[in-house]
Structure 1
Amino acid sequence: MIGHIKAVACAVIGGAWLALASVATAEDATQTAAKTDGTGLEVHAVIMEGAGAISKDVSFSLHSATRSGNRKLEASGTGGQAVLEAPPGDYILTTVYGATTRKQNVRIDEDGSHHVVNLDAGEITLDVIRGVGEPSVTKPIEWKIMTYGKNSNGNRKVLYEETAVKPFLVLPEGWYVVHAINEGELIKHTIEVTSGVRYDYTLVHY
């Protein structure tokens, strides 16, 4: 069961944030899955190590692991789990759940393989109020989730965009900067995402 934490964030209109680290797509080393009686790759995802399988809304894609960069899509599937049919060999498995994307190198054995994708992710909701104790803003807000760190040009990478009243997101563990545009004004705040924990963030727009 995922933990649940509420946080009220006193947001800032304008201004800048100190860049310390960057969190984006998680990468893992090559993994050889255990053999099964089937063929291809049987795969499912968990939000954190030791958690139960995610039951729906997960997408999987399997690409050839050629070094030329022109990787062919071999198989894909959606749902809580999937069987990706492909000949034995080395592949790149991409798993997407919410705003979380994980790429891994996997190997399919002669008798088929089974692989569990640990997304190492957490859940967040985002909300805006006009002052402490005030009700939530009911009009759609433009949201951007950005990396906490900046690139060599001094820019953050936009990881996710959505126009919604109160979005629900699944993100890899780490720190992020949230930009919210409400009534034409930009609100900024730094948020934390923890694996296996849900945070409800309320930004205060003074």
Structure 2
Amino acid sequence: MFLAFLLAAPAAMAQERGGGGGSGFLGGLGDLLGGKPDGPAPYVSPSANDLIPNAGDVGVPQARAPKTFEPITLPKAAPGNLKAPKIDLPGLPAYAPQSAPSQNLLRHSASLSLRAVLVKGGATVPNGLIWRLFSAVPSLEGRSPLIASSQSATPSFDVPPGSYILHVAFGRAGTVKRIDFSGLKTQEIIDLDAGGLKLNAVVGEHGKPIPSRLRFDVYAEATDDAERKIVANDVPPGKVLRLNAGSYQVVSHYGAVNAVVRADIRVQAGKLTEATMTQRAALLTMKLVREHGGEAIADTAWTITNNEGDLVGESVGAFPSMVLAAGDYVIVARNNDKIYQRDFTVQAGKNTDVEVLTSDIAPSEDDATPEDAPPDDAPVDDAAANALKATGD
């Protein structure tokens, strides 16, 4: 169609030069673009119609009328959750995941293995051990650097050949040993030379158990040039202490005042030593009352001294209690600027409530008898008596 238009253009131009009306070529272009021509359509000579080819011959597609497509009917979904379609897949071979490499493959074949015994030829200690391996070559600071540590019963250390310092701790027991490792697989057996100590105490001649307020301190054996070093303090009864074999001094504290008992005990390697100590003391509960069996008076300060006047203990309250060793004491109670006093004897194993009456008023300094004053029943000289009588007359 476009070629036909080009062939008709010269004739239209000739017609325009011939004096025909309209705007010629521009007018036809206006029709193509949608504009309104100014005059009649261009004239085409009949002889030119044969020169215009058919649109199909020159490849120009012919206009087609629009077609109407029928809508596609979609399947209606069932109410509720949509279910995934079932897909049948061909059978797949079983998949076996590749196993991780064993740690034994990464372990150096030359390792230093360790185990500990309480006594030579004894069984291996199963737990409670702390192993520390230090280099035998000190650092610039003068300390041996820590190479490895473990809490296993039988540890293995992958270390290069060399000299090492091994420290093994078993409770409060321990030992140090130098090991020269050649690089070959080696097992070292460490003799701890240690045992156990279990402490308890009773009170009185009949050996009554002590339910509370009982603690122990353990000291190492004394040397000639040094005092005893404390190994363990504030140990409760029945607890097993792991100690190196040897002699120890045990101090038993019943209460927090003066009930103290000491004993020397020897611990044997590979054995549990049980020791029961005897306390000679009693638990006292004090109260200030107006009459026997009466109600205790609050806000009372208490002071306990021995017969020599040395201070033993102090307390404040309506019902103070304390453990005292067997012996004679003076109990002094202070309340509202008044002082009350009573003598008391503590018997081992006999826990007692001590009542101090408000009538037990302590003697004041004014009531004390002067040292130079003669006693009331001293004989009087007759001359002096007569002189006094004459003066009285």
Is the pair's TM-score, using the shorter chain for normalization, greater than 0.5?
A: yes
How far off its partner does 1:48 sit? 0.6
Provide the secondary structure at the position in 2 that maps to 1:75: strand
How far off its partner does 1:123 sit? 1.7
Q: Following TM superposition, where does structure 1 have runs of at least 4 consecutive aligned residues deviating by more than 6 angstroms?
A: none
How far off its partner does 1:99 sit? 1.5
Change (3 A) 1:39 1:151: farther
Identity level (%): 21
- Kindly tell me the number of residue pairs found equivalent between the two proteins: 169
What is residue 15 of structure 1 aligned with on the other side? none
8 Å CA contact 2:260–2:279 kept in 1: the answer is no
Provide the secondary structure at the position in 2 that maps to 1:53: coil
Q: Deviations over 1:72-122 (max 9, x none)?
A: 110111132211332211111111112201111112221232111111122
Q: Deviations over 1:21-57 (max 9, x none)?
A: xxxxxxxxxxxxxxxx943321111111111101111
- The structure whose residues are more often strand, as a share, is 1
Rounded Cα–Cα distance in structure 2 between residues aligned with 1:162 and 1:106? 36
How far off its partner does 1:200 sit? 0.8
8 Å CA contact 1:140–1:165 kept in 2: the answer is no
8 Å CA contact 1:38–1:113 kept in 2: the answer is no
- The structure whose residues are more often helix, as a share, is 2
**Are residue 166 (structure 1) and residue 224 (structure 2) matched?**
no
CA RMSD for the aligned pairs? 2.0
TM-score by length of 2: 0.40
Q: After alignment, is 61-70 or 176-185 more displaced? A: 61-70
Unpaired segments ≥5 residues, structure 1: 1-36
Q: Partner letter of residue 194 of structure 1?
A: Q
Rounded Cα–Cα distance in structure 1 between residues aligned with 2:234 and 2:158? 34
What is residue 49 of structure 1 aligned with on the other side? 120
What is residue 189 of structure 1 aligned with on the other side? 263
Unpaired segments ≥5 residues, structure 2: 1-107, 281-393
Rounded Cα–Cα distance in structure 1 between residues aligned with 2:244 and 2:120? 13
TM-score by length of 1: 0.74
Q: Partner letter of residue 278 of structure 2?
A: V
How far off its partner does 1:66 sit? 2.3
Q: Deviations over 1:121-143 (max 9, x none)?
A: 22221001113543432325332
1:91 aligned to 164, 180, 183, which one? 164
What is residue 373 of structure 2 aligned with on the other side? none
1:200 aligned to 253, 270, 274, which one? 274
Q: Which has the higher contact order (CA 8 A, sep 6+)?
A: 1
Could you say which structure has the larger radius of gyration? 2
Rounded Cα–Cα distance in structure 2 between residues aligned with 1:131 and 1:97? 36
